[in-house]
Amino acid sequence: AQSVTQLDSQVPVFEEAPVELRCNYSSSVSVYLFWYVQYPNQGLQLLLKYLSGSTLVESINGFEAEFNKSQTSFHLRKPSVHISDTAEYFCAVSERAGGTSYGKLTFGQGTILTVHP
């Protein structure tokens, strides 16, 4: 079984400031890692994922996350945020189980990022 802890429920920042949203996970097996974003009154969208290879992964809109196996973390960062980044962000994990995980996701509690002008 896995669990995901997002350490901040709300993060307020000013526009153009850097931001870090923290995510730690616990699992008895190897996992894949994800960040999803949910804009107000919408479903979730995949922001970025770590499956293998480089531990630093990037999204098309400037976010990046780094897989740290020793610290079991997958923190999300952006060097300069925009008003349009205001949303709720969810960290999630899925077991690397040779296909028998069926892609099931375990989500963290979510972090509401609010970008102020």
Partner 1 sequence: NAGVTQTPKFRILKIGQSMTLQCTQDMNHNYMYWYRQDPGMGLKLIYYSVGAGITDKGEVPNGYNVSRSTTEDFPLRLELAAPSQTSVYFCASSGTGTGLYEQYFGPGTRLTVT
Binding region for partner 1 (CB under 8 A): 4, 6, 9, 32, 34, 41-46, 49, 51, 90, 94, 99, 102-110
Shortest distance in whole angstroms from residue 14 CB to partner 1: 25
Query: What is the b/e burial string over 54-75, where b = at least 16 CB atoms within 10 angstroms of the residue's CB?
Result: eeebebeeebebbbeeeebbbb
Shortest distance in whole angstroms from residue 16 CB to partner 1: 29
Is the Cβ of residue 14 or residue 39 nearer to partner 1 in the bound state?
39
Measured distance CA(18)–CA(44) in Å, rounded: 23
Is the Cβ of residue 17 or residue 104 nearer to partner 1 in the bound state?
104
Shortest distance in whole angstroms from residue 80 CB to partner 1: 27
Is the Cβ of residue 98 or residue 117 nearer to partner 1 in the bound state?
98
Neighbours of 12 (CB within 10 A): 12
Is the Cβ of residue 15 or residue 105 nearer to partner 1 in the bound state?
105
Shortest distance in whole angstroms from residue 113 CB to partner 1: 15
**The Cα angle at residue 48 between residues 34 and 69, in degrees rounded to 5:** 50
The answer to whether 48 and 58 are in contact (CB under 8 A) is yes
